[in-house]
Amino acid sequence: VQSLLAGQKYPLMQEISKALKSVSSSLLQRFIDSAYNFSKLPVLNEIFDATEVFVTNQFDKKELATLLQGNFGPVNEIGVAVLLKQLVGEVPEDFPEGVYIRNGPNPLNPTQTSANSILGSTSYTHYEGQGMLHATYFNKSSGGEWTISYLNKYVHSDTFELERQKSKGNFIPAAYGKPYAILAAFVLNMVSTIQNLTLLYIVEGPYNINGAWNQPFTSHPKKLLHKVDLKFEESRFIHDIGVTTRYNIVMDNPLRFGISRILLQKQIFDHDMNGKARIGIMPRFGNADSVRWFDVENHCSYHLINCFEDGNEVVIRGCRTLGSVIPGAPHNADKSEWYRRVFLAPDKNSEDFDPSLDGILFSRPYEWRLNLESGTTKEGYLTSEEVAMDFPVINENFIGVRNKYGYTQVVDSVATSKTGLFKYKMIAKMNFDVRDKENKSLISVEYHALQENQFCSGVQFVAKKNGNDEDDGWIITYVHDEGTNISQVYIIDAKRFSEEPTAKITLPQRVPYGFHGNFFYK
């Protein structure tokens, strides 16, 4: 997206954009209707075994069925906030008032998920299309009584409004498929949105920081104080950025992104397993020339835990993967085999071990130490090679400074390897200051296990007001039980982490598995 919209660097795209604005929406719709065949999912009379493969036009119908059924499937907006009265345990008296929100995918037209044309096929992925927010509100009366309510809402972007008005799919899946088909989908989608294109949405609508920003963001932006062109020769796909007291941290992995790649018969997203990764340390108000780059072992990590300064070193902690989950398996790959190998822990002693494939999406907490005085780097894993973790959070009062605790979602690697979609069966609490009892090279980890067939998403730390310790507070998360098809909000005391949740709050409908959560204090 950045390569398409950065006008000064891409004047050709500016001219194309001007021309596209003149195309009428009705003419566009007629063209899409005549040139594309949007396939519907097969009617499922039973839940197929996840290892079976059904392939049509290079795409796996079983994968799409899995993606859009069960708790990966979309839900409807409920319209008005619903009071929540079914609760096991109780919300702590000193729990803060506020709202817990989690985002996630929620396709508006789930039966139009594969598009076929003379250029080939494209298919929906879990990371594109319309999104939904799920919100649980915590309000307390003057008498100390809690009122808890739930509301969900689509993100009302320009594309959502256009698609809802037409009551059918108007946008073509564009992240996965045949290269030229992706190119055509991107161009047609640009035509559909070019007159009202916005880049970042808050709940109320498009947001551009009071006009100070008109470019795409990372998925985890920090406060905007200073704008710099880093003068990259090629667009990067950078998901997260770190900050310390004095520095900005830029994670430059060989994950490239751009329309021009398709002309070379490459995927629009492409991670080079043989490429070079580096980390940039930029003074808070520096420029491209002031960035100090450190070469590190190649990786494709998406999420940082925290960054801080330690003497002459800048320390970066994150959940490290060797490959990219986006866009997924190569479009001509045996997906069931690809999933099995990339998501399970790698067996380096296996005769057919392939370092470019086995375990490349098995994510583990990792630490980089960059010495600003000597220019050297030290790096390594922090936790067991048997447990995959991601979606890290900390007490946000410690962002940018040394912290003791971090929390992650623990991957059910076996379940994930069967579908290609992440499921998280536990929550982990990491203590960076205490060594593991059995392996002193690793840190201590405590687990909060969920029951069988229960999975969590949107884990967030909620700090206790006036707390004395870093872990004075609670972990809050959405949990879905696949056996009962019931979703709940769990509140877990961070100091009694492995014990039963303090509260389990039942929701009026299921909350599909999604991505990141946040708690907004009243």
Q: List, in order, residues 6 or more apart from 277 with CB less than 8 Å away.
A: 251, 252, 253, 254, 295, 296, 297, 298, 299, 300
Encode pLDDT of 303-337 as tens digits: 999 999 999 999 999 999 999 988 788 777 888 89
Which residue ranges are tagged as binding site? Answer: 239, 303, 516
Question: What is the pLDDT of the chain when averaged over all its residues?
Answer: 84
Neighbouring-strand partners of residue 202: 205
Q: List, in order, residues 6 or more apart from 35 with CB less than 8 Å away.
A: 117, 118
> Which tokens sit at 58?
């290079």
The confidence score (pLDDT) of residue 145 equals 94
What is the DSSP track for 435-485? E-SS-TTSEEEEEEEPPTTEEEEEEEEEEPTT-SSTT-EEEEEEEEETTTT
> Which tokens sit at 136?
């649980």
Taking 50 as the threshold, does the pLDDT of residue 1 lie above it? no
Query: What one-letter code names the amino acid at 270?
Result: D
Give the strand order in the sheet containing 454-463: 87-89, 503-506, 486-493, 473-481, 454-463
> Which tokens sit at 401?
């400074």
CA dihedral 120, 261, 319, 295 (to 10 degrees): 160
Which residue ranges are tagged as binding site for Fe cation? Answer: 239, 303, 516
What is the Cα–Cα distance from 104 to 102, expressed in whole angstroms? 7
pLDDT: is 515 or 112 the higher one? 515
* CA-atom Rg of the chain in angstroms: 23
- Evaluate if pTM is beyond 0.85: yes
Structural domain boundaries in the chain: 241-382
User: Could you give the residue ranges of the DSSP H alpha helices within 237-390?
Assistant: 335-343
Encode pLDDT of 337-385 as tens digits: 999 999 999 999 999 999 999 999 999 999 999 999 999 999 999 999 9
The confidence score (pLDDT) of residue 215 equals 66
What is the Cα–Cα distance from 110 to 131, expressed in whole angstroms? 12
Q: List, in order, residues 6 or more apart from 390 with CB less than 8 Å away.
A: 302, 303, 319, 363, 408, 409, 411, 422
Encode pLDDT of 243-299 as tens digits: 999 999 999 999 887 777 777 777 777 888 899 999 999 999 999 999 999 999 999
Contact 514, 409 (CB under 8 A): no
Q: Is the peptide bond before 508 cis (omega within 30 degrees of 0)?
A: no
Encode pLDDT of 393-440 as tens digits: 999 999 999 999 999 999 999 999 988 889 999 999 999 999 999 999
What is the Cα–Cα distance from 163 to 336, expressed in whole angstroms? 32
Contact 460, 477 (CB under 8 A): yes
User: Which helix (H) or strand (E) covers residue 294, if one does?
Assistant: strand 292-296
User: Which helix (H) or strand (E) covers residue 5, if one does?
Assistant: helix 2-5
Taking 50 as the threshold, does the pLDDT of residue 179 lie above it? yes
